Amino acid sequence: MRTRTAVVAALAAALVLTTAAPAPAAPGVPSRAAELLGRQTLAANDGWAAAGTGTTGGSAAAPDRVRVVRTRAELVAALGGDNATNAADAAPKIVYVDGTVDGFEGPDGTPLDCADLADPEYSLPSYLAAYDPATWGRVNPSGPLEAARVRSVANQTRQTQINVGSNTTIIGLRGARLTGLTLMIDRVDNVIVRNIEFADARDCFPAWSPTDGDTGNWNSQYDQISVRRSEHVWIDHNTFTDGDNPDSAQPVYFGRPWQVHDGSLDVTHTASLVTASWNRFAGRDKVMLIGSSNTVGPDVGRLNVTVRHNLFDGTLQRLPRVRFGQVDVHENHYRLGGPGFAYALGVGVQSALYTENNFFTLTGDTTAADLLYDWGGTALTERGSWVRQGDRLPRPVDLRAAYNAAHDPDLGGDAGWTPTLRAARPLPTPLVPLAVDAFAGAGRLPL
């Protein structure tokens, strides 16, 4: 077993800035460290995003494509100038976020709210009156009010969905925060996002789905980061929260919570080659969905993701939930339990989850048997898990055996593959909380 000194040395080495010689600093970049971090690339073998050509983001950016942004308008301009076409801008670029950038900010800086984005024919009271299941029944909404809601969603998408092109690095300076927006990484290649707090990517116009579950559910559209039809994406040292707008504060309509938040980091629609490292997910419900449909088709052979050294703190589900992909989940710390907790690892259709050296700190009556959920999968490889339950001493636990003892059908023990893309040998599981709690999340990089 490594000594603590060796562990600290290994962690420090993991943060060494191994980059090519940087171009001249851009005006407004406050430090040499920020410039170096902006040009840092993903290390060789560091998870699925290191496959093939690797992930370099905007490290080759010319000086005129290195910008510091403080507003939504400046963010859009730095990413290419027109949010409608920015996804097609493949020029290398580095965007430093300074302070808080709010997606609900008009072009002139005026704060917006949901009423500003609503279609003139939409109102929530009218919507609730029209589609109350007691009178409308368990049929999907249709007609003028639903059409007005859909137009309202389109208005919000244009405003709060920020499109990112290929060969881009977005990195936060100290205290950087993106609130009320979605970073959309769709149909692109080679993107890095680091050192940013993401807060409250709220949906103003959730959809009522009367056949979702036994009694229906409200469903929201906007993730904090959405990776679709893209490759070579590195999401590192970010923090994901609901800010001052938690799900617990939302009202109840039709007997179901008004759900204004979707995922933190979703990888869907044939995306692949993603590494999520050293992030902190705090107090969120739906966290990480890998694969959005059970339909066997283009997702087969895709959705390959590495999830390592992340802190899942008071989160409720999808940590991650996986379909189809070969997903390597190692050396994460999970602090879970309490009201609303559902599960940690979702074993979905044709999923190939490989989990190693993860540490679970559990509260309340949550047990090891509650940490897996079968969403139509058949097997996972699980090794090196440890659990600390309440005040008890931590101990190694076979999560699959605990699940199988309490549920039917059993999950098999072989996901059918063994990860090879790892930059270092895994830490011993008892040391994972020490490392992850110290280094995960925004504000931990030396900026």
> Which residues are tagged catalytic?
318
First to last CA, the chain: 32
CA geometry: angle 389, 336, 322, nearest 5 deg: 120
Q: Whole-angstrom Cα distance, residue 426 to residue 406?
A: 29
Residues β-bridged to residue 182: 161
Q: Whole-angstrom Cα distance, residue 170 to residue 195?
A: 9
Q: Whole-angstrom Cα distance, residue 180 to residue 161?
A: 9
Three-class secondary structure of residue 346 per DSSP: strand
Neighbours of 89 (CB within 10 A): 19
Locus of tokens 């994901």:
240
Distance of CA 67 to the CA centre of its chain: 24
For residue 277, report the phi and psi dihedrals to the nearest 5 degrees.
Answer: -135, 140
Q: Whole-angstrom Cα distance, residue 103 to residue 161?
A: 8
| Contact criterion met (CB below 8 Å) for 148 and 124 | no
